[in-house]
A and B are shown apart, each in its own frame.
Chain A
Amino acid sequence: MTATILPEGRATGRPSPPAARRRTPGRWFADTGWRHLVGVVFVVYAVFPIVYVLSASLSAGGTLTGSNQLFDTISGDNYAALAGTRFWSWFANSVQVAVVTSIGTVLMGAAAAYAFSRFRFEGRRAGLTTLLIVQMFPQMLAFVAIFLLLISLGEVVPALGLNSKVALVCVYLGGALGVNTFLMYGFFNTIPRELDEAAKIDGATHAQTYWTIILRLVTPILAVVALLSIIATFGEFVIARVLLQSESNWTLAVGLYSWVSSLLEANWGLFAAGAVISTIPILVLFLFLQKFIVGGLTAGSVKG
């Protein structure tokens, strides 16, 4: 990063000219106005489909054509009609799978991060390198093999076979270490070692140190990983589509896809209502997480 080197001799140049007191409209536009223009244009671009789906979910007709008049009619028919479908069991499935996966991911990821951060053991370096490499290969690439594996597993333990939510969670947990350990590892490293040392001197076991000291200090990263995991699992499509076969076991992603792909025209209102409901929990989590995500994304990125 040679650009950061400041020529010493010239560091004391003239201070920047003070901003003009009275700005002309042209000047205002060049400084600030264009930003508002850009903002408005792209906010419309970003938000319009969301407004549209909200309007479609409230339209009385329920067809695709009928949804084109934005907020023409306001009715809760589509939302009420969801009760007559499997939507709510799909919703429950998605929530179950996402929450259980998230808890498992946090428990296993945090434990692994603790080991890598606090212990020096043979194979530690190799382990970290392996994780770094494994996380380059998303699990979904191997969905054919996962499918075949679960056929075999299902013949032995039906709960771990195809069409089982337990099996789906297990498969998702297979990706837990690869994806999240590094994020946590970095955070664990910021907790001063002296705390562990002090605890150890006071007679705490490694387990006590972990459960009662470290885990409390890393709560923020646990929350972030838990929520990121919920968001990712909630939206996952390929593996759920391949593994879950009976309609009652589907997750929202698989279920809503089936509505749109089979009877697009007639089901549009239902889909829109379902889409709005499935978006709400994620949207809430996301807005809550926003500042962590910005920090986390860049924290993970600046490595070189």
Chain B
Amino acid sequence: MTDLQHPGAPRATVERPGPGAGSTLPPEPSRGRRVRPDESPARRLGPGFLAKLAMMAVVDAFGVYVVWSAWVAEAWVILGAMLAMLAVANWVYFSRRTVPLKYVLPGLIFLFTFQIFTIAYTGWVAFTNYGDGHNSTKDDAITALLAQNERRVEDSPSLPLTVVTDGDELGFAVVRPDGTTAAGSADTALAPVDATVDEGRITAVDGWEVLDRQEILERQGEVTTLRVPASEDPNDGSVRTQDARTGYLFTPALVYDEVADTMTDTTTGAVYAPNDEGQFEAADGSTLQVGWRVFIGFDNFTTAFSDSRYAGPFFQVVVWTFVFAFTSVATTFLLGMFLATAFNAPIRGRRVYRTLLILPYAIPGFVAPLLWSGLLNRSFGFVNQVLLGGAAVPWLTDPLLAKFSIIAVNLWLGFPYMFLICTGALQSLPTDVMEAAKIDGAGRLRTWRSVTLPLLLVSTTPLLISSFAFNFNNFALIYMLTGGGPRFADASVPLGHTDILITMVYAVAGLDGSAPKNFGLASALSIVIFVIIATISAIAFKRTRSLEEIN
């Protein structure tokens, strides 16, 4: 079957590859004529084809740049992914057999990279201990441990040192005890260089620029923290300086034994071996600070559901998330439906009413919660000061009132949407049913309850379900209005009475610096949300059978 096959279309017409874009061939006697399948589109050079060629040249150039950068940065996954994307893109746009893909591919690439991949990545991180102390690979952790635990080698010779720069990064040039000269920076270990030595000190060096006194003073902080590795082997330590004139060799207090895969503390003699948690652990159970990422199975999920620091808050948060989402949908729908019913009759000024009523929906999502947080401010807010005559009601700081306030603010934010969809649904209700009810002798209330409401629910249920899913993850409202507060009394985890699952994910991830980063646990919580949403969606699918629309 060809890509272009339309149902019912004559095959010959469909299979014929079109002439190049922009060419002005005379209309061909299309029926029955077949173009040779080996006819390449490249033979028909139209402006469309040239445009495509130019676009692909840009895409390929970008792709080659990314591949090269990934090679330099040794980011093999990105390199592989980019190569695959380039191959697919070139195949799709230069093959005649991939017509539908030509249209879908751009969106598909973004969808895969930034949505489907991130969901999969969330699943992967959820089973690791990625976070503070476990940020990277084991090799990085070893390098970091050796660097952080350096001390000056006793009785080591002082090295006459000159601060140099390669235009951007600082480096050191030193004269070694044997008279040879070497230079390097934080990223490149000391390597032999040709240099001019004057009175035992380097005054000029190939490929580097010597900093003068003034420049050194300006960058004093950088100079005193700079450590230039003495060689490629991290066990050899590094050169540091305090006065920008003399360097000393520092070596790690830890020694890494590659064969045994252990760390040895040279001062205490303690031997640290890697454990299952991604850390070096000594026989007495003490561990070294820097660890690496490892798979820890379902530990994150166990933590969420049973660790005393998380489980209590977690269950409170889950319950409140459901209560919040359900109450929000119910209140906004009831008010929206009531107003839609009220304005479904032809009354004077109906358009004005409608426009004014949906105004809150037209306010950007971030303005409204911030605005209400000011209105509800305990000491200075309009509600307390003016409407309640100076009362000090803790709208946003009392656990129960804060929940109430959030629902109330969300009602203000959400009812216009429900008003809109109910208005739309009411207007599209079949009038014959109403008439039938009237003829059957049903009163206004009875008609509404037995005819209008069921029909309204049929057409709005899918939207109510997606509204539930939206509020389930209504991060901005909670985060901006209360920040999740007031805090739970046991404040070991930065969570509060109004936190919902998605704000808990944010807090646990520690992205704003208020808590140690724990990407693993945060991702595990995201997975919990995914599962809940998937369940709700599955039920919604079943109920609305919206999949049928695809056929």
Contact = CB atoms under 8 A, between A and B. Distances in A.
Real complex partners, A and B? yes
Interface of A: 1, 3-4, 6-7, 10-11, 13-14, 16, 31-32, 34-36, 38-39, 42-43, 45-47, 49-50, 52-53, 56, 63-65, 67-68, 107-109, 111-112, 114-116, 118-122, 124-125, 127-129, 132-134, 136-149, 152-153, 155-157, 170-171, 173-178, 181, 193, 196-197, 200-208, 210, 231, 234-238, 242, 252-253, 256-257, 260-261, 264-265, 268, 271, 275, 278-279, 282-283, 286-287, 290, 293-295, 297-298, 301-304
B6 A118 contact: yes
A4 B253 CA distance: 84
A140 B475 contact: yes
B125 A206 contact: no
Contact of A142 (B107, B115, B342): B115
Interface of B: 1, 3-7, 9, 13-14, 17-22, 25-28, 30, 48, 65-66, 69-70, 73, 75, 77-78, 99-104, 106-108, 110-111, 113-119, 121-122, 125, 130, 335, 338-339, 342-343, 345, 347, 349, 353, 355-368, 370-375, 377, 380-382, 385-386, 412, 415-416, 420-421, 423-425, 428, 430, 432-433, 436, 438-440, 450-451, 454-455, 458-460, 462-463, 469-470, 473, 475-476, 479-480, 483, 502, 505-506, 509, 511, 519, 522-523, 526, 529-530, 533-534, 537, 543-550
A52 B382 contact: yes
A27 B144 CA distance: 83
A175 B480 contact: no
B13 A141 contact: no
Contact of A137 (B20, B119, B356, B386): B119
A47 B361 CA distance: 11
B550 A111 contact: no
A57 to B, nearest CB: 11
A294 B130 contact: no
Is the contact region of chain A dominated by helix, strand, or loop, or is it mixed?
helix
26 contacts: A36-B347, A46-B416, A138-B470, A143-B505, A144-B125, A145-B119, A145-B122, A146-B118, A147-B509, A149-B118, A193-B6, A197-B9, A200-B13, A203-B25, A207-B21, A238-B475, A238-B502, A253-B366, A253-B476, A257-B366, A264-B373, A271-B370, A271-B374, A287-B355, A298-B421, A304-B543
Given A147-B511, A152-B77, 8 more contacts: A121-B99, A142-B118, A144-B519, A145-B125, A175-B115, A257-B366, A287-B362, A290-B358
A50 B363 CA distance: 9
A119 B52 CA distance: 21
Contact of A170 (B77, B114, B335, B440): B114
B473 A145 contact: no
Contacts of A207: 18, 21, 48
Given A38-B339, A203-B25, A16 B476 contact: no
Contact of A260 (B4, B359, B365, B374): B374
Contacts, number: 376
Contacts of B118: 139, 142, 145-146, 149, 174
A200 B424 contact: no
B114 A146 contact: yes
A138 B501 CA distance: 14
Contacts of B370: 256-257, 260, 271, 275
A282 B265 CA distance: 62
Contacts of B433: 3-4, 6
Contacts of B459: 298, 301-302
A47 B359 CA distance: 7
B403 to A, nearest CB: 20
A244 B385 CA distance: 36
A173 B362 CA distance: 23
Given A132-B550, A177-B107, A235-B366, A155 B386 contact: no
Given A133-B537, A176-B107, A177-B110, A144 B523 contact: yes
B212 to A, nearest CB: 31
B73 A35 contact: no
A67 to B, nearest CB: 7
A141 B526 contact: yes
Contacts of A156: 66, 69-70, 73, 75, 78
B103 A114 contact: yes
B114 to A, nearest CB: 3
Given A50-B363, A64-B377, A294 B424 contact: yes
Given A49-B375, A137-B533, A235 B13 contact: no
